[in-house]
Amino acid sequence: MMVRVSDEPPSEENPANHAEEATPAAPPQRLRTLLIIAAVLLGLDLLTKCLVVANLKPGEPVSIIGDFARFSLVRNPGAAFSMATGMTWLLTLVAAAVVIGVVRIGRTLRSLWWAIGLGMVLGGALGNLVDRLFRAPGPLQGHVVDFIAIGWWPVFNVADSSIVCGAILLVVLTVFGFEPNGTRTGRDEPDAAEDEATETTANKTTSEGNTA
């Protein structure tokens, strides 16, 4: 009886292939989500400002809930909530820098919650930037249209609310360790350390077995 002997060496599985299969897929990029949120908020801000300018007059507020909530048209040369009223041109440059910075971060963004927060900041910054560029008295000096008056709080607009809410969300995400790349600080790192310890123990056991 003849036994055929193959000249081909036994196939060896590449450990790298197993490593690639075991590696979880990275979260999808979130730039599109960020831009959609920003576009919706920008459109809402511009629409409400146009309606207010067309239907309200300065000094003639419209009551919504008694004296607590009302619409009151105000031309604001300063920042959100009427702060820094004498620095309009500087605020315009800051808003432009914020827009550029958010877009740059968004290009590598993988966290959905970060995309929501940054989208809110971007939409609000663009809304007020449009006012500063195209409204009177002129480019870089334009006054922002504010119209929402709540109690004793300074008059604000949709863009201001968007910026503040987005910033609060980003602070909360940072405090709880959620990273822009979709990972979470303090949770992913221990897992990596545990995997490394397990691998070290396995290698040590294999080495002792070979020695025996």
- Which entry of 160, 188, 191, 195 is annotated as an active-site residue? 160
The yes-or-no answer on residue 7 being catalytic is: no
The answer to whether position 168 is within a domain reads yes
The answer to whether position 189 is within a domain reads no
Q: How confident is the model over 127-141, as a mean pLDDT?
A: 92
The answer to whether residue 197 scores a pLDDT higher than 80 is no
R_g of the chain, CA atoms, integer Å: 28
- So what's the pLDDT on residue 31? 95
Domain count, the chain: 1
Average pLDDT score, the chain: 83
Residues 137-177 have pLDDT tens digits of: 988 889 999 999 999 999 999 999 999 999 999 999 999 99
Going by pLDDT thresholds of 50, 70 and 90, the confidence category of residue 198 is low
The answer to whether position 93 is within a domain reads yes
Domain boundaries, position 108? 30-176
The answer to whether residue 58 scores a pLDDT higher than 60 is yes
Question: How many CB atoms are closer than 10 A to CB 48?
Answer: 18
The answer to whether position 92 is within a domain reads yes
- So what's the pLDDT on residue 103? 94
The answer to whether position 203 is within a domain reads no
Sign of the dihedral through C-alpha 72, 75, 78, 79: positive
Considering only 24-38, 112-126, 196-210, which range has the smallest mean pLDDT? 196-210
- Which entry of 45, 67, 131, 146 is annotated as an active-site residue? 146
- Tokens 């968007």 correspond to 162
The yes-or-no answer on residue 195 being catalytic is: no
Instruction: Using alpha carbons, select from 168, 164, 190, 206 the residue that is nearest to residue 80.
Output: 164
The answer to whether position 14 is within a domain reads no
User: What 3-state DSSP class applies to 83?
Assistant: coil
- So what's the pLDDT on residue 83? 62
